[in-house]
């Protein structure tokens, strides 16, 4: 018994030790970002290491929002609007497509489903230029909707919604059909209200992915009025100038909303990972 208890104690100690190590490893980048945001450029590049800013340079944040060449408030607003609209539209269209592919007995629906899945095997670099050409032809350059449009349709989300609705109890749908509901009525009144878990899980992941998007908003949003927060961040690090203190201050401001979302919605992020891996 003593040997067993020693083994359990050692196993638990190693487990918690590894957990503490991983937590510290995860938090180090956040510490460095906040630390550098409160230092001067000279202190950041100095060979003398400073653990805590003394005194902290809070003026870096004032300069950040006062810089006309890097409209941070505009970037935050654009990112929030784009991420929210992308979230709502992608969840709406993906859930409708997933329900149709799972429940509506239409001829060729499996072929359509496999065609949708096949798009996941096409690298984004292949479709980038054609997508830009289409957006430019439609007048989507320097507009928010031009940034939003490609993210509205997601083959991955459609796949997960289809798998979710395939496992949904058919008795509920049959009861709705007996009450005279159409397919859309069943989806609107019965399935959608009972899809909160997958809607929240995929919604959080969609919001984070849209907020962190850089290359597409950079190409489409060429005018400063259409810049997202990630594009604004890139203006502090160019071939001509490097403004490290404001770059790190902007990084703190841009990552703060995602930290809040993560803390509030971490349970749903875990559920999203389970859906993605097929384990519930």
User: pLDDT (tens digit, 9 = 90+) per residue, 236-248?
Assistant: 876 567 778 888 9
| Partners of 237 in beta bridges | 242
* Residue 78 predicted with pLDDT over 90: yes
Task: Note down the domain range covering 80.
Answer: 65-277
Residue with tokens 């497509």: 97
127 domain residue, yes or no: yes
Residue 12 belongs to a domain: no
Q: Give the tokens for residue 144.
A: 């928010």
Tokens of 254: 């841009």
pLDDT class of 280 with cuts at 50, 70, 90: low
Distance CA 227, CA 224 (A): 5
For residue 75, the model assigns a pLDDT of 92
The answer to whether residue 58 sits within a structural domain is: no
Q: Looking at the domain assignment, is residue 37 inside a domain? A: no
In terms of pLDDT, which residue wins out, 266 or 114?
A: 114
* Percent of the chain clearing pLDDT 90 (strictly above): 21
pLDDT tops 60 at residue 37: yes
* Domain-embedded: residue 7: no
Rg of the chain taking only CA atoms, in angstroms: 24
d(CA 122, CA 115): 12
Phi, psi (5° rounding) for residue 237?
A: -135, 95
pLDDT category at 3 given cuts 50, 70, 90 is low
Q: How confident is the model at residue 167 (pLDDT cuts 50, 70, 90)?
A: confident
pLDDT at 84: 93
Domain contains 167: yes
Contacts for 118 with CB less than 8 Å, ≥ 6 apart: none
pTM: 0.85
**Does residue 3 lie within any of the structural domains?**
no
**5 C-beta neighbours (distance < 10 Å), count:** 9
pLDDT digits (tens, 9 = 90+) for 206-250: 998 999 999 899 999 888 888 999 999 888 876 567 778 888 999
* CATH number of the domain bearing residue 169: 1.10.3720.10
Mean pLDDT along residues 143-160? 90
pLDDT for 198 equals 84
- Rounded CA gap, 175 and 189, in Å? 12
For 42, 48, 61, 191, 236, the CA distances from 45, given in Å and listed in that order, are: 5, 9, 19, 56, 16
Q: At what angle do helices 109-118 and 72-103 cross, to 10 degrees?
A: 150
Q: Which of 210, 78, 67, 76 has its CA nearest to residue 152?
A: 210
Question: Does residue 28 lie in a domain region?
Answer: no
Task: Specify the number of domains making up the chain.
Answer: 1
pLDDT at residue 45 is higher than 90 = no
């Amino acid at each position: 018994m003593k040997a067993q208890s020693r083994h359990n104690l050692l196993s638990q100690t190693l487990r918690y030790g590894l957990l503490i190590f991983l937590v510290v490893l995860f938090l180090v980048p956040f510490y460095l970002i906040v630390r550098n945001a409160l230092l001067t450029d000279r202190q950041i590049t100095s060979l003398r290491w400073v653990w805590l800013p003394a005194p902290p340079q809070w003026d870096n944040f004032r300069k950040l929002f006062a810089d006309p060449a890097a409209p941070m408030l505009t970037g935050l607003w654009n990112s929030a609007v784009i991420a929210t609209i992308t979230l709502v539209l992608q969840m709406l269209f993906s859930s409708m497509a997933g329900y149709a592919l799972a429940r509506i007995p239409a001829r060729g629906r499996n072929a359509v489903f496999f065609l949708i899945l096949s798009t996941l095997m096409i690298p984004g670099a292949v479709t980038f230029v054609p997508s830009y050409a289409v957006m430019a032809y439609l007048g989507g350059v320097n507009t928010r909707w031009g940034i939003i449009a490609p993210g509205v349709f997601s083959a991955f989300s459609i796949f997960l919604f289809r798998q979710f609705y395939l496992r949904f109890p058919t008795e509920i749908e049959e009861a709705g059909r007996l009450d005279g509901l159409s397919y859309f009525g069943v989806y609107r009144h019965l399935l959608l209200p009972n899809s909160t878990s997958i809607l929240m899980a995929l919604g959080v992941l969609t919001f984070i992915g849209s907020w962190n998007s850089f290359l597409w908003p950079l190409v489409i949003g060429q005018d400063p009025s259409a810049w997202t927060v990630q594009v604004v961040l890139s203006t502090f690090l160019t071939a001509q100038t490097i403004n490290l203190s404001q770059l790190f201050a902007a990084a703190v401001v841009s990552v703060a909303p995602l930290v809040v979302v993560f803390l509030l919605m971490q349970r749903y992020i875990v559920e999203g990972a389970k859906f993605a891996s097929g384990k519930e």
